Structures are given as structure tokens and as C-alpha cells.
Amino acid sequence: MRTVIAAIVGFTFALGLGISGMTLPSKVIGFLDVTGEWDPALAFVMGGAVLVYGLGHALVPRLRRPFAAEAFQLPTRRDISPRLLLGATLFGAGWGIGGLCPGPALVSLATGGLAVAVFVVAMTAGMWGHLVLGRLRA
């Protein structure tokens, strides 16, 4: 059941990204170009996402348990670590340079574009490298 729910949620997310145009790097670059022809569309997409998250965040404490799991898996850390700042900086820089982040990049693979495929390969290599380095440090 959890796999079916995950597939439905993933498909809905992909559909939303596609409909909103967030799979187009030009949309993201247009949002980040505040000195040129600024495109506010991404602000509305982000606002909608924050609204949905806020509703879910408010609802979770009122529920005994999730629909398809034994317990909620909520983060316990509240500090802002150097590692978090570095990761956020790398993510933001990659997003600004490439115009894609992981979700839209995976959805964009359906179009078969070479630039997106290169991005996803580089992203996967970065994730794998992080995993390997984390295991070496442990």
C-alpha cells in the first residue's frame, strides 16, 4: 500500500511540475533574473508548496499515526550546521546555474533532452559521492 501511495504522490508531484512549467530551466532562470525580464511564476509555485506544507505541518500533531505507516518520521534536529549551509549553498548554486533541481530534472528526463540527462548523471554522481564520503568518515 505504501508503494502505491508513494507512486500516486510522485505522479501528482511530477504532473504539477510539468503543468506549472517548472521542468523548463528557462522558467527557473527567468525567476532568478531579477534585473532582467523577471518571471514571477516560480514564486506562485513555491507559495502553493509552502501553503500545502504548512497545512500538513499543522495537521500532523493532531493525528495519531500516518495512513500507511506505523509512525511519523519527523526531524529532530533544529540547529543550522555548517554542513547544512554548505549543502544549501551547493544546491542553490546548481539550481541557479542549471535551472533544474532533482524533482524537475527527473520529470524532464521524459523529454529525452541531452542537457537534462547530463544534469541527472552529474546529480546522481554527486549523491553517490556524498554517500561514499559519508561512509568513509564514519
pLDDT along the chain (138 residues), means of 10: 88 88 85 88 90 92 86 89 91 84 87 86 91 82
pLDDT tens for 38-76 read 889 888 988 998 999 999 989 988 998 888 888 888 888
Nearest to 103 by CA among 35, 29, 8, 11: 11
pLDDT of residue 68: 82
